[in-house]
């Protein structure tokens, strides 16, 4: 199909997913302010992080040290809504602070983006999945205790710490945080799919509507992770991030070699590329190596590590293979 200008135009394709999302019912009916949404979300997130900081302080501090190190080494990345040049100083003050409550508060005031905070919680729960399962495993008490103690040492459980209770608290608050974030996304779903539909038409339907909608929703999730209520309204922040979504669609359109993309650039300039894509650091790989090394120190003979399946070193390729085989119940 060709337009009046002779430009090749693909047919508009309807999507059942798109139609169902248009009729989505928001679970939060009250229109709260950005400050109310984000402060409540932050409360849930930091409540899920508090047990990690309390029971496994070395793991908690090590994670944020790696965030600061990666931020320092990568000038193009920005993992905080504050001045990133302040991060090393804030981290140092937190590490030398003797009062654990004050140290926790100092790290919180680093304003690391929520995506990285969710990442630490997710890493903690996945790493300790085996530990949770051991509570009901048909093992001799002495074997179970030995294996559990090895895991406790690997995650830096403090002396007298209670890891089982920490896992339950982390899981509880993490579920609350994820549930609230999903509800916030719902508040912006109609506006987002409307923007996605306009972009779909603007690029002459060359990119699947489902793909365009997915890109826009992922961008909304990232925007929520990075929005600081001290610096503006969430709705405006999300609208600004739509430029990033449009830029990603533009890259997909380029892959289709569609002439309409060039005409769009000619009409609108390269504004579709006026964004900085933020890529999260691969901190999980480094933490896995940290835990593997700690497990090796605690069990140099490898007897318990073999039972647990904790290698001395997990390569990036091994981790990708394991993730590909991971089963996620639907």
DSSP string, 145-213: HHHHHHHHHHTTPPTT--HHHHHHHHHHHHHHHHHHHHHHHHHTHHHHHHHHHHHHHHTTT-S-HHHHH
pLDDT at 306: 53
pLDDT at 63: 93
Name residue, tokens 């997990």.
Answer: 314
pLDDT at 323: 52
Q: How many CA atoms lie within 13 A of 327 on its CB side?
A: 1
pLDDT at 272: 28
Which residues of the chain have a pLDDT value below 70?
Answer: 1-23, 256-330
pLDDT at 92: 94
Asked whether the beta carbons of 219 and 265 are under 8 A apart, the reply is: no
pTM of the entire predicted model = 0.73
CA separation for the pair 269, 252 (Å, rounded) = 18
CA separation for the pair 262, 179 (Å, rounded) = 41
Q: Which residues contact 232 (CB under 8 A, 6 or more apart)?
A: 34
Q: Which of 176, 135, 146, 212 is nearest to 45 (CA)?
A: 176
Asked whether the beta carbons of 299 and 150 are under 8 A apart, the reply is: yes
CA separation for the pair 302, 311 (Å, rounded) = 9
pLDDT at 142: 83
Burial code (b: 16+ CB inside 10 Å, e: under 16) for 8-28 equals ebeeeeebeebeebeeeeeee
Cβ count near 116 (within 10 Å)? 19
Q: Which of 280, 281, 282, 217 is nearest to 249 (CA)?
A: 217
Q: Where are the alpha helices (DSSP H) in 9-140?
A: 16-22, 34-55, 57-73, 87-96, 100-108, 114-127, 129-134
pLDDT at 135: 77
Asked whether the beta carbons of 71 and 79 are under 8 A apart, the reply is: yes
Residues in the chain: 330
CA separation for the pair 228, 237 (Å, rounded) = 9
């Amino acid at each position: 199909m060709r337009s009046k200008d002779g430009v090749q135009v693909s047919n508009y394709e309807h999507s059942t997913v798109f139609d169902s999302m248009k009729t989505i019912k928001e679970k939060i009916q009250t229109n709260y302010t950005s400050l109310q949404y984000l402060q409540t979300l932050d409360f849930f997130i930091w409540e899920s992080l508090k047990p990690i900081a309390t029971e496994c302080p070395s793991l908690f501090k090590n994670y944020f040290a790696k965030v600061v190190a990666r931020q320092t080494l990568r000038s193009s990345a920005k993992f905080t809504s504050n001045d990133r040049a302040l991060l090393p100083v804030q981290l140092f003050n937190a590490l030398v602070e003797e009062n654990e409550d004050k140290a926790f508060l100092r790290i919180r005031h680093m304003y690391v983006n929520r995506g990285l905070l969710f990442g630490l919680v997710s890493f903690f729960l996945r790493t300790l999945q085996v530990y949770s399962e051991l509570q009901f495993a048909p093992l001799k008490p002495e074997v179970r205790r030995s294996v559990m103690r090895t895991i406790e040492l690997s995650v830096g459980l403090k002396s007298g710490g209670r890891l089982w209770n920490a896992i339950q608290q982390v899981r509880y608050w993490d579920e609350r945080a994820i549930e609230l974030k999903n509800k916030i996304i719902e508040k912006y779903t109609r506006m987002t799919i409307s923007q996605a539909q306009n972009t779909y038409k603007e690029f002459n339907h060359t990119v699947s509507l489902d793909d365009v909608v997915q890109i826009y929703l992922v961008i909304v999730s990232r925007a929520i992770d990075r929005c600081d209520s001290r610096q503006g309204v969430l709705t405006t922040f999300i609208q600004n991030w739509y430029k990033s979504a449009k830029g990603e669609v533009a890259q997909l359109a380029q892959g289709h070699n569609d002439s309409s993309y060039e005409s769009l650039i000619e009409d609108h300039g390269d504004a579709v590329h006026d964004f900085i894509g933020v890529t999260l650091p691969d901190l999980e790989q480094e933490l896995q190596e940290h835990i593997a090394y700690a497990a090796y120190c605690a069990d140099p003979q490898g007897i318990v590590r073999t039972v647990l399946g904790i290698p001395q070193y997990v390569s990036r390729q091994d981790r990708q293979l394991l993730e590909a085989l991971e089963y996620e119940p639907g």
